[in-house]
Amino acid sequence: MTAPATPAAPATPLVAGRDLPRGRRPARDRFGVLVEIWLRGHTWLVYGFLYLPIVVVVVFSFNANTRVTNWTGFSLHWYEFVLNSKEIQRNLINSLIVGFATATVSTIIGTMAALGIQRAPKWFRLPFDALTYVSLIVPEIVIALSTLVFFAVTIGKNGLISNLTGGPEIGLGYHTIVGALSVFNISLVLLLVQARLANMDRTHIEASFDLYGTPWRTFWQITFPQLLPAIVAGFLLSFTFAFDDYIITSFVHGTNQTTIPLYVFGALRKGVNPSTNAVAALMLFITLAILLIGQYVLSRQARRSGTAGPAGVAGMIVEQQGA
């Protein structure tokens, strides 16, 4: 590809954007056109790739047939079956409990920590930050088995607590699931809120103090609304991770706490099954609904308080990745 003929370089150095002609491309840049086509095609392919499984699950969950891929007509049969199943109802409730409990705990604790960490002295901040990153890096399976071992040693049958109090063991249960899941999620919320705090407009706060506002009121009327997008994003993200979690839940759950992911994983061992598709589609709908609600809430919030949050929840996540 040949370079276009350019005018001889002037004596003073050229500055891009001022001296150089903008957007001028050689007339016959066929290669360039190919590249453009390739870029666009690639993008569409990738999006297709990303959405294909979702579409497959949803479409076939409406299949009237019992064979997964033989399409014989639209039907809500499997949804009926699934929603009427007592077992699935119970699993769904368990999943919702785990999701909401984890999200609530993580959001409150994570937000508090984000507010506190900026006031903390360096000797504390360093190890604390390190722990935050460790909790995000350590693979779920290691967290799962290490917390299981921890529970065994402390609240298990021959564990510390039992021996100290001489009473029965506390054992596994909702508390262990929520406890274990919250570790990662607290860090998540922490990072999101921290990022927002860092990017926040301080002038409002200063103005508030100048106007003799108390720290308490300043916080609630100025800071908190600006943090709300991050807090909400954190809550929703935590909920989704907890709701969708398999590994940690499967390691540390007790009686009667089978969740939907556990159910699906178990069903998978028996091969793909149309009713599992309906359960899967349900899960997709629920998590998608959460995301959309979050988007809506955040964009309304953004409009109201005038804070610019790009693309709502998505923006939060992207911002966080880049930060």
**H-type alpha helices, 63-121:** 77-84, 86-117
What torsion, rounded to 10 degrees, do the Cα atoms 178, 184, 187, 193 define? -70
Binders in 126-165 for other proteins, by CB under 8 A? 128, 131-135, 137-143, 145-153, 155-159
- String of DSSP letters for 37-62: HHHHHHHHHHHHHHHHHHHHHHHHHT
Binding to other proteins by residue 113, rule CB under 8 A?
A: yes
Question: What's the closest the beta carbon of residue 203 comes to other proteins, in angstroms?
Answer: 22
Using an 8 Å Cβ cutoff, are 119 and 219 in contact?
A: no
> Alpha-carbon distance 218 to 220, whole Å?
6
Interface mask toward other proteins for 15-54; x: CB under 8 A: -xx--xxxxxx-----xx--xx-xxx-xx--xx-xxxxxx
> Alpha-carbon distance 70 to 60, whole Å?
9
Which of residues 228 and 313 has its CB atom nearest to other proteins in the complex?
Answer: 313
Collapsed DSSP state (helix, strand, coil) of residue 74: strand
Supply φ then ψ for residue 63, to 5 degrees. -75, 135
Which of residues 228 and 286 has its CB atom nearest to other proteins in the complex?
Answer: 286
How many degrees, rounded to 5, is the angle at CA 241 between CA 235 and CA 244? 135
Binders in 56-95 for other proteins, by CB under 8 A? 56-57, 60, 66-69, 81, 85, 87
Which of residues 222 and 298 has its CB atom nearest to other proteins in the complex?
Answer: 298
Binding to other proteins by residue 1, rule CB under 8 A?
A: yes
Tokens standing for residue 133: 């990153």
Number of residues that bind other proteins (CB under 8 A): 135
Binding to other proteins by residue 213, rule CB under 8 A?
A: no
Which of residues 68 and 225 has its CB atom nearest to other proteins in the complex?
Answer: 68
Q: Pick from 101, 177, 186, 228: which binds other proteins (CB under 8 A)?
A: 186
C-alpha distances (whole Å) from 209 to each of 162, 194, 213, 226, 306 are 52, 22, 5, 16, 20
Q: Pick from 83, 96, 97, 247: which binds other proteins (CB under 8 A)?
A: 247
Q: Pick from 65, 97, 100, 169: which binds other proteins (CB under 8 A)?
A: 169
Region of 204-212, 222-230, 279-287, 300-308 interacting with other proteins (CB under 8 A): 279-287
Which of residues 210 and 216 has its CB atom nearest to other proteins in the complex?
Answer: 216
Question: What's the closest the beta carbon of residue 171 comes to other proteins, in angstroms?
Answer: 4
63: β partners? 74
Question: What's the closest the beta carbon of residue 231 comes to other proteins, in angstroms?
Answer: 14
